[in-house]
Chain A
Amino acid sequence: MLLSVNNLSVSFGGLQALNLSHFQLEDKELRVVIGPNGAGKSTFMDILCGKTKPDTGEILFNGKPTHGLTEVEIAELGIGRKFQKPTVFSSLTVFENMTLAARMKKDVFSSLFFKMSPAFKKRIIEVAERVGLTSVLHQQAGALSHGQKQWLEIAIVVLQDPKLLLIDEPAAGMSDRETERTGELLLELSKEHGVIVIEHDMHFVRQIANNRVSVLVNGKLLMEGSFEEVRNDQRVIDCYLGRANAQLEKL
């Protein structure tokens, strides 16, 4: 078991944002988390990567509790996070962005005396090919298109070589073609890493949900199952899709 969460809860100003009794993720599993706005999906990721501290509950990552660790320590354990709004280092080039991200010693002195080795360079070019950024490798990241920034951030997370990737709305603001390519990329990544994806776009969810889908509603886990099970579940339709189920009916 890569990740196992028990009785996790957090509230902001009296509002219970998340109350997750049980959540588990196998190694090399791709899990899609869906749910209406305010269901606590992003909060869940914030807690997993150490951005938000939970009020109660326990997270075991590879059997080790992550309670009380800083973001850096959690990142070192092997959890990488891609945010909803792409955050890249806009004044650095794509190549430099990826260089900084790659797994290595990251203390001040190692950085000061860092020398690029051919093997290291090869790995970055490999990853750049995988996310389709080879042609813009020496452009400033700030000048990239929105979709390219999303991919660059995914590349940054991948280069950290994490055991678990937390991907928050990777397809937001992408064209259909870009979305499809992102889906292929995530499926490929799930062969080597555990992946949790938050997504709204149902076409996209259907493309990537090769295993289980978790539905969060009001901070609680409503159900887990295959994409078909979730799609046909009456509670999901009532709770989550009751308001805007047009998208699902079209499928």
Chain B
Amino acid sequence: MPDKSSKLVTLLFVLFFAIVLPAGHLLGIVSINTISLWGRYCCFAIAALGIDLIWGYTGIMSMCQAFFFCLGGYCMGMHLLLKATALQGQELPDFMIWNNFSSLPAFWQPFHGFVPAVLLALLVPAGIAFIIGFFVFRSRIKGVYMAIITQALALGMYLLFLRNETKLGGTNGLTNFKTVLGFDLSSSATKLGLYFAAVVMLCISYILCRKIVNSKFGKVLQAIRDSEPRVGYTAYRVLHYKLAVFVVAAVLAGLAGMLYVPQTGIITPGRMSVTSSVEMLMWVALGGRGRLKGAIIGALLVNCLYSLCTSLFPEGWLFVLGILYILTVLYFDKGFTGLFDKLSTLLHSRRKAVVESPAISGSSSPSLRGAARLSAERDEAIS
């Protein structure tokens, strides 16, 4: 029953984003800006899936996912900027001219082509995650130390990208994009296309992630979260597994960033600040850790709320987010999805109780529940 209803929810979800929203636009009810906004949220949801894999399933708190997101974003941004520059007949992007560059830096060269740029947007985050992950996981850094070290990395990279010497536009980042694959970025049709690309990639990412978590590999990830030493003594090389999931999460973040940039038209170091990474973790925490749907719902809902709040009372957003976070930590540690589950089981049992004869359910269940609680208490006392 719950399986069936969750399938239904997924179907409705896909129908809404793939058909209802675009149809609304064609009928003139939904503005293209709203569509584009949801397209961006879908990108966030892709990154959130990666965070759920590494944090929700494996229990590794990585606080530099926004950095990987921006790596993907910058790769795409560099390509778009080079195209725009060529369109204007210039040799160098504007910011390079202002900074008195004489020629295009060598590492910009591969980004002339679309395909190399897309590949690099995925490979650069993967490669950097691999290198960082290798050293961090080999040193058996975990828990709060992992969070601190990745946070420090995010901050360091943020400061590095702020500088003009990095040759990536400094504080202003990359902007003034004109076309993608020859399509005009300001036209509604292109925006709709980019929205579809984001939705499709979100669906593909979700399916792949679900394959991953349902495979034995996914079970090993959960086992690492539960008891890492036991996994080692069961002859699994924990380092390889952690590294693999860290790289997968980074690639998802890179993919999200790559899809995000053409839709927003700008990428700045602000996107990779420590707060952005923390916000990304919050999406997953609020949506429901350890559930792929939770990550998606969290990313979409929180960002939707963000847009609503910032337009209604711009000053209040951080308070709203903070209160939501505290409520989640205190009362529903499984996030929104956990709340839905609780409600649906409550409804279910209510319905069941009505159907069954009240005498039976009344006599048997309290004693059983008491016994279960006793055994749980005994377990805790022993451990």
Known pairs A71-B233, A72-B232; A108 contacts B375 (CB<8 A): no
Known pairs A72-B235, A87-B229; A111 contacts B220 (CB<8 A): yes
- In the complex, what distance in Å separates the CA atom of A80 from the CA atom of B379? 24
Q: Flag whether B321 is at the interface (Cβ < 8 A).
A: no
A91 contacts B226, CB within 8 Å?
Answer: yes
**A34 to nearest B CB, angstroms?**
22
Within 8 A of B (CB), among A91-146: 91-92, 96-97, 99-101, 106-108, 111-114, 143, 145-146
- What chain A residues lie within 8 Å of B278 (beta carbons)? none
- What chain A residues lie within 8 Å of B376 (beta carbons)? 143
**A175 to nearest B CB, angstroms?**
11
From the candidates B219, B227, B232, B378, name the one contacting A146 in the complex (CB within 8 A): B378
A81 contacts B233, CB within 8 Å?
Answer: yes
- In the complex, what distance in Å separates the CA atom of A70 from the CA atom of B237? 10
From the candidates A88, A89, A108, A145, name the one contacting B222 in the complex (CB within 8 A): A89
- In the complex, what distance in Å separates the CA atom of A156 from the CA atom of B343? 36
- In the complex, what distance in Å separates the CA atom of A111 from the CA atom of B234? 14
Q: Flag whether A242 is at the interface (Cβ < 8 A).
A: no
- In the complex, what distance in Å separates the CA atom of A112 from the CA atom of B53? 14
**A76 to nearest B CB, angstroms?**
5
Contact with A along B218-249 (1 / 0, CB 8 A): 01101101110111111111001100100000
Within 8 A of A (CB), among B198-235: 212, 215-217, 219-220, 222-223, 225-227, 229-235
B217 contacts A108, CB within 8 Å?
Answer: yes
User: Nearest CB to that of A142 among chain B residues?
Assistant: B226
Q: Flag whether A173 is at the interface (Cβ < 8 A).
A: yes
A75 contacts B241, CB within 8 Å?
Answer: no
**B373 to nearest A CB, angstroms?**
12
- What chain B residues lie within 8 Å of A89 (beta carbons)? 222-223, 226-227, 230
Q: Flag whether A37 is at the interface (Cβ < 8 A).
A: no
**B208 to nearest A CB, angstroms?**
11
DSSP majority for the B interface? helix
**A154 to nearest B CB, angstroms?**
13
**B98 to nearest A CB, angstroms?**
47
Q: Flag whether B383 is at the interface (Cβ < 8 A).
A: yes
- What chain B residues lie within 8 Å of A106 (beta carbons)? 234-237
Q: B interface, how many residues as a size bin?
A: 20 to 34
- What chain A residues lie within 8 Å of B27 (beta carbons)? none
- In the complex, what distance in Å separates the CA atom of A81 from the CA atom of B231? 11
Q: Flag whether B382 is at the interface (Cβ < 8 A).
A: yes
**B343 to nearest A CB, angstroms?**
21
- What chain B residues lie within 8 Å of A143 (beta carbons)? 376
Within 8 A of B (CB), among A31-86: 49, 51, 70-72, 75-76, 80-81, 83, 85
**A245 to nearest B CB, angstroms?**
26
- In the complex, what distance in Å separates the CA atom of A243 from the CA atom of B244? 53
A111 contacts B235, CB within 8 Å?
Answer: no
Most interface-central of B225, B229, B233, B237 (chain A CB within 10 A): B233
B382 contacts A146, CB within 8 Å?
Answer: yes
B383 contacts A99, CB within 8 Å?
Answer: no
B379 contacts A145, CB within 8 Å?
Answer: yes
- In the complex, what distance in Å separates the CA atom of A201 from the CA atom of B229? 27
- What chain B residues lie within 8 Å of A21 (beta carbons)? none
We find that the number of chain A residues with CB closer than 8 angstroms to chain B is 36
Known pairs A75-B232, A145-B375, A146-B382; A100 contacts B216 (CB<8 A): yes
Most interface-central of B227, B230, B241 (chain A CB within 10 A): B230
- In the complex, what distance in Å separates the CA atom of A106 from the CA atom of B219? 12
B233 contacts A90, CB within 8 Å?
Answer: no
B235 contacts A92, CB within 8 Å?
Answer: no
- What chain A residues lie within 8 Å of B241 (beta carbons)? 108, 111
From the candidates A49, A87, A111, name the one contacting B216 in the complex (CB within 8 A): A111
User: Nearest CB to that of B378 among chain A residues?
Assistant: A146
Q: Flag whether A190 is at the interface (Cβ < 8 A).
A: no
- In the complex, what distance in Å separates the CA atom of A85 from the CA atom of B231? 15
User: Nearest CB to that of A113 among chain B residues?
Assistant: B215
Known pairs A72-B237, A75-B232; A99 contacts B222 (CB<8 A): no
A49 contacts B219, CB within 8 Å?
Answer: no
B235 contacts A160, CB within 8 Å?
Answer: yes
- What chain A residues lie within 8 Å of B230 (beta carbons)? 83, 87-89, 156
**B303 to nearest A CB, angstroms?**
29
B216 contacts A76, CB within 8 Å?
Answer: no
**A206 to nearest B CB, angstroms?**
24
- In the complex, what distance in Å separates the CA atom of A142 from the CA atom of B290? 16
User: Nearest CB to that of B241 among chain A residues?
Assistant: A108
B215 contacts A156, CB within 8 Å?
Answer: no
- In the complex, what distance in Å separates the CA atom of A80 from the CA atom of B230? 10
- What chain A residues lie within 8 Å of B227 (beta carbons)? 87-90
**B217 to nearest A CB, angstroms?**
4
A146 contacts B379, CB within 8 Å?
Answer: yes
B237 contacts A107, CB within 8 Å?
Answer: yes
User: Nearest CB to that of A110 among chain B residues?
Assistant: B216
Which B residues are within 8 Å of any A CB, using their own CB?
212, 215-217, 219-220, 222-223, 225-227, 229-237, 240-241, 244, 290, 375-376, 378-379, 382-383
11 A/B residue pairs, CB under 8 Å, sorted by A:
A70-B232, A72-B237, A75-B235, A76-B235, A89-B223, A90-B226, A100-B231, A107-B237, A111-B236, A114-B217, A146-B382
For the A-B complex with A71-B232, A85-B383 known, give 14 more contacts whose Cβ atoms are closer than 8 Å: A49-B233, A71-B229, A72-B236, A75-B234, A89-B223, A90-B227, A99-B219, A108-B241, A112-B215, A112-B216, A114-B215, A114-B217, A145-B379, A149-B379
Which A residues are within 8 Å of any B CB, using their own CB?
49, 51, 70-72, 75-76, 80-81, 83, 85, 87-92, 96-97, 99-101, 106-108, 111-114, 143, 145-146, 149, 156, 160, 173
